[in-house]
Every structure is written in structure tokens, then in C-alpha cells.
Amino acid sequence: MRDKPLDQSGKSTPTIDIYVSTQAKKVTPMLQRLPWSLSFLSIADYDQNPPARAILIIAPDQLQERLKHNTKKQMQQCVILLWLSKKQDVARELLDHPGVLGIINKNINQDALHTLIKSSIQLLRQFENINSAEVLERVLEVGRALSAEKDLDTLLGLILTHARRITGADGSSIYTLDKSGKLYFRLWQNTSTDTRSQAQKTLVGEHSIASYVCNTGELLNIDNAYNIPKDAPYHFNPASDRSLGYHTLSMLTLPLKDKNDKVVGVLQLINRKTDHNTILKTMTDFGRKVLPFDEQSQQIALALAGQAGVAIENGLLYADIENLFEGFIKASVLAIEARDPSTAGHSFRVAEYTENLARAVDHNDSRIHKNILFNTEQMREIRYAALLHDFGKVGVRENVLVKAKKLHPQRLELLQQRFCYARACIERDAFRKILTLQSEGNPGDKEFSRERKIIEDTLNGECNRLQNYLRMVLTANEPTVSYEEIEHQLNELTEYTFPDETGETTTLLHDFEFADLSLSKGSLNPSEREEIESHVSHTFAFLQLIPWTSNLSMLPDIAHAHHEKLDGSGYPRGIVAEEIPVQSKIMTITDIYDALTAGDRPYKKALPMEKAVDILSMEAKAGKIDKDLLKVFIESKSFQIEPAAH
């Protein structure tokens, strides 16, 4: 049963589809004399496109055959009248079928046929009432589903899908308003063209149907988009129809409103069909199988729109909260990285590498990784953990955090001043000796000249020696210079002494300075390295203070383990592979990679990608990082990211 297009009075007249078997064609003239609006189709039409509800006049053998091939659901709301062309026995299972209402033969009179068709129509209406209850339940189910979805793009797609299914629409589009009040096209779906758009944001023209509904806040029900009056305040754009080979007829466009009755978007339904499963291919299909949106469809769509509007409002609010939180995280990371400009951008790059690798692992079908799956919320959790993995550096002293050389700048400056002091003391001692020589001898004697030259040569030698020692100290101060390279000169310097202003013997290099300069690699001594490594514990302590939602509850643990190694040689807890979350294993690889390849830092040069991968491979071979995750990292090229400003 379906509706014809609206008549002159604006009312729709019910049309009943009757599918008549070829053998029963004789009864068609009698059916045409009945007082209802009837549409006659063949059983072949039914087979090609089974409707949800219809009247079938069919021979027993034909029904038997269709019951074998059609599902019970396909025929459960059809009224069946068996056509007997001759006296014959009918199988008990056919007579017991719930859809069989009666039997017709060539001898049936007009009154009996009238009664049978009337009863059939009444039964169809009962089916409609049952269907209405089912639709209501589906609307409630949709409402529950929409309220559970937080991602806005996914939510918009759900609204379109459910709206099409409930109303029988072939196509659907959705629009949303931004904060400035501009309407944007976001998504569309169409069953017959089997196409869907990706999430987008395209500004809508002010004279479009969607803009009109948005501005007025009232729904618009159009029977034929190509018959809109020219003086109407809205217009239909047929460009999409032309590009898709489609033909839009009926359109139902509704405002989506929030709890305060404010429009937040627009839902547009296109081409209500005689049956939800119908595929519209030809102009004949569009002419025969597309219906106007009736009152029931309109009410259902309004109910759905009400729930969808609130869901969109909540989705937008959730997105705003997420953006706010992400902004806070980024601002926090920038503030921390500002304390050490040489590592600026590290956390953002690690977050991108980590997301890339997590996504690659999620899509990897190998036996090892097939059970590792990350949903959208887990991916967000991984991203936040990567962004915040070094947040604990806020608890590390700045002079340790930014230490670029083995000696702190202030320490080096004091040591350089000590060299100057030593030179001054040595020069003063030499000048005293020359004055003593002058007071005790004759400045014109050759012996005097010889003694003075010895003093001056000794002075020059000591000054040169100090200068060489200072150059050696500056070389040893570089974090890339190993102790083995300067061991002899450094040990020699520790034994060097000079007389101070009181005449006491003084060493040039203190023990703690020697300890720092003799570091085998890097710029940090053991106590400073321990302080730097404590940033992981500080990060965990800080992140634990935040009341994370359940979908982000693992974030502190993921960040806490990003410096752990599979063999237990990592820090701060020294846990082994089984105790380390896979998300942390992923971040360990990306964190090391960025530390190796990042732009030149004062204490090291950036390594090329190939060299960094070699070092990671050695770490994997030594059992310190996950070799399988590293393989995915390399094969998926997860290290390829676009430079970005934060």
C-alpha cells in the first residue's frame, strides 16, 4: 500500500498495489470496478522488487515456489489470495500460511470479491499499525545510539543512515551551523547510487532549500524538486543529479534543533520509496517507485530530527571540550619545551610518530599483531600520552635540563678565571724573581742577562702550557669527546700546580671538574643523569593527579613506561617485556628515533634516518626494544611526517 502524489486538494489518496498472477488475469476487470484506488502489477514485478506490504493473487504452485526461495520476513506482511483455475486440492501448509486470507476462482461474484479485497485492505492496515509500533521502537533505539556516539563525523553519518532506513528515503544529506551562523554541507548518502561522501565542510548558498529551512526553522516537504515555483524563496540545484545520473523528486527537509529550540543543522531526505530495498535505476523506477513523504514519514522524521539535534548539540559540545583539552595539552607541552629550546617540537613529533606506528600496527594482519587493535578513543589516549610523556621535566632543575656541555657554563667560566689567576700568579712570581735579580746584581752583566732570559723563557713556557691546557679543557668539555681521547692530557692537568698569591701551592683542576670532564659520553654526570631520568616519575605523579575519564585511564601508565626496556634495563622501574604496555613499547621506538634524528642539538649532531634505524635495529637485536614493532615502524615508514608549526 502506498500514497499517490498529492492531488489538487492537497490530500493524498491511498493506492493499493495488487500483484496478479497471469493465470488470474480474468479477475482484473472485476477488480477495476471496486471502489478503491488500485494499482495492478504482475507477479514478476513482485519477484523483481518485493514490497514490504501488498496483496497477492497467486496460484498455489507459484506460492509454493516463492515460499521456498523467499525468506519468511519478505512475505510476512503480504495478504495472499489463492487463485484456483480449476478444482484442486491445496496443500495444508499453504492454507495454514498466516498471509493466506482466502481463495478466488473464476466463478467468484462481485460481492464476494468486494468482501475479500476489503478484508485484505483492513489486514494491510493492521500490518501498518504493527509497523508503526516497530518504527517507534526503532526511533527510540536510534535515539539511544545517537546519544552514545561522541565523535561528530561518525554521529552525522549515523543520523543519515538511520533516517534513510526509518523513513524509506533513498538519499539523505546533513548540514551543520558553525559558531558564526554559517551553514555548511557535511555528509550525504544514497542507496541507489551506492555512494557516500567523506566528511567535509562546504558553505551552502543562501537561496538553497537547506538555507531556507535553517533560516525559518520550519520543515519543507516537496513532492517534486523540479516543479518548485520560480517565485519560491528557495531553489533546487540539479547539479548533483546530473553528475550522478540521478533524479530527485520528493524531498523532506527538516531543521535540527537543540534543547533550547535553536537550529544547529539541517537534515534532508530524498525520494521516499515504495520499499526500502528498492534500487532506483531508470526514469520508470523514479516515476513508479518514488512517493511523496506522507504525514507518517514526516512525523517519524521530526521525531528523529529532535533527537538528532540534541545529539549534534552534545557532539559539538564534546568536540569543543576535546579541542579545549587538546589546546591545554599543547600549551602545556610548549611551556615545558620552552625551558629547553634545543628540544622544541620533540613531544609533537613523537606524538605523530606514535600515532602513525599505532595505526600501522592496528592495520597489520600478521600473526603477531592481528590481535592488537586500537579504537578511536585508544588512539586519542596514545596521542595524549605521547604529547605528555616528558611533562615531568617541569620538576628537573633548568641548569640540568639545558646542560649542553660537560661543565655548566658558570663552572667553565670559573675554571677559565682560575687559568687567568694561575697565569697572573706565575707572571707575578717571575717578575719578583727579576726584581730580586736586579737588586742583587748588575743589570749590565752578561750573567744577569742570562738569568733574566731563563726566567722569561720559563714564564713563556708556562703561559703556553696553560694555554694548551685550556684548549684541552674546552675540547674535553664537548659531550662528543670521550675520556679515552684526552685521558693523558687530562691526567697531566690534574697534577699541575701553581703558587698562589701567598706562595701556597694550588691545583688548577678540582676533583669534581675532572669527574665531569672525564665523562665517557654525553654531558651529564651520574647525579645529573639520575635527575633527568626522574622526569618519568614526575610525569607519572603529575598525570595521576588528573581525574581521567575511563577511556583515558591508561594514559599515566603508558607515559610511565616509555623509557623501560624489554630486558629490564630501562628506567625508572626496570620492568620487563610482559609488564610493559604495548602502547609504551610503541612510544619507546618513536622516542628514541626522534632523539637520534632531531635537528642538531648542542650536545649531539642529528643522524640520518638510515643510521638511526641501524641503531634501533641493534637495540632490538640486543633485546631492548620490540623487534616486531620496529619492523612495522620501518616497513610502514611511520617516521615520515609533515613539518608542522605548533
Residue 226 CA to chain centroid, in angstroms?
40
CATH of domain 149-318: 3.30.450.40
Check if the beta carbon of residue 166 is closer than 8 Å to that of residue 300: yes
* 3-class DSSP state of 599: coil
Peptide bond into 98 cis (omega under 30): no
Name the CA radius of gyration of the chain, rounded. 43
pLDDT tens digits for range 248-304: 999 999 999 888 889 999 999 999 998 878 899 899 889 888 999 988 788 888 888
Answer whether 80's CB lies under 8 Å from 64's CB: no
DSSP 291: E
Beta bridge partners of 3: 14
Write out the three cell numbers for 3.
Answer: 500514497
Q: 101 by DSSP, 3-state: which?
A: strand
Q: Give, rounded to a whole angstrom, the gap between the first and last alpha carbons of the chain.
A: 61
Cβ density class 139-171: b for 16+ within 10 Å, e for less = beebbebbeebbbbeebbbbbbebbbebbbbbb
Q: Which helix (H) or strand (E) holds 401?
A: helix 398-401
Residue whose entry in the numeric block shows the C-alpha cell 669534581? 512
Longest dimension (CA), the chain: 162
Q: Given this model, what pLDDT does residue 222 score?
A: 95
2-132 CATH, one of 3.40.50.300, 1.20.58.220, 3.40.50.2300, 3.30.420.40: 3.40.50.2300
494/500 Cα distance (integer angstroms): 16
Q: Burial letters for 398-431: b for 16+ Cβ neighbours within 10 Å, e otherwise?
A: eebbbbbbbbbeebbeebeebbeebbebbeebbe
Q: Which residue's C-alpha cell is 640540568?
A: 400
Q: At what angle do helices 152-167 and 110-148 cross, to 10 degrees?
A: 170
Domain ranges in the chain are 2-132, 149-318, 338-399+530-635, 409-521
Name the CATH code of domain 338-399+530-635 (choices 1.10.3210.10, 3.65.10.10, 3.30.70.100, 2.50.20.10).
1.10.3210.10
Q: What is the DSSP string of 466-508?
A: HHHHHHHHHHHTSTTS-HHHHHHHHHHHHT-EEE-TTS-EEES
C-alpha 97/C-alpha 90 separation (Å) is 12
List the chain residues with pLDDT less than 70. 1-14, 52, 69-77, 126-145, 148, 197-199, 367, 369-370, 441, 443-444, 600-603, 643-646
- Identify the pLDDT of residue 128: 64
How far apart CA 486 and CA 481 sit, in angstroms, is 8
**89-to-59, 99, 101 alpha-carbon distances in Å:** 12, 19, 17
Helix axis angle, 409-440 to 446-476, nearest 10°: 170
Q: What is the pLDDT of residues 364-414, one digit of tens each?
A: 877 676 678 888 889 999 999 999 999 998 888 888 887 888 999 999 999
Q: Return the C-alpha cell found at 639.
A: 617516521
Q: Which residue has the cell 617540537?
A: 345
> What is d(CA 523, CA 514) in angstroms, rounded to the nearest whole number?
13
pLDDT at res. 5: 41
Q: What's 518-557 look like in SS3?
A: CCCCCCCCHHHHHHHHCHHHHHHHHHHCCCCCHHHCCHHH
Give the three-state DSSP class for 400.
helix
* Alpha carbon distance 53, 275 (integer Å): 9
Helix (H) or strand (E) holding 82: strand 78-84
Round to whole Å and give the CA distance between 533 and 552: 25
Rounded CA gap, 244 and 223, in Å? 20
Give the CA distances from residue 87 to residues 100, 103, 368, in Å, rounded to whole numbers and listed in that order.
18, 11, 69
Query: Residues 52, 79: contact at Cβ < 8 Å?
Result: no
In the structure, how many helices (H) and strands (E) does the chain have?
A: 24, 16
Joined grid coordinates for residue 167: 523513513
pTM, two decimals, is: 0.65
* Residue partners of 501: CB distance under 8 A and separation at least 6: 425, 428
Q: What is the pLDDT of residue 378?
A: 92
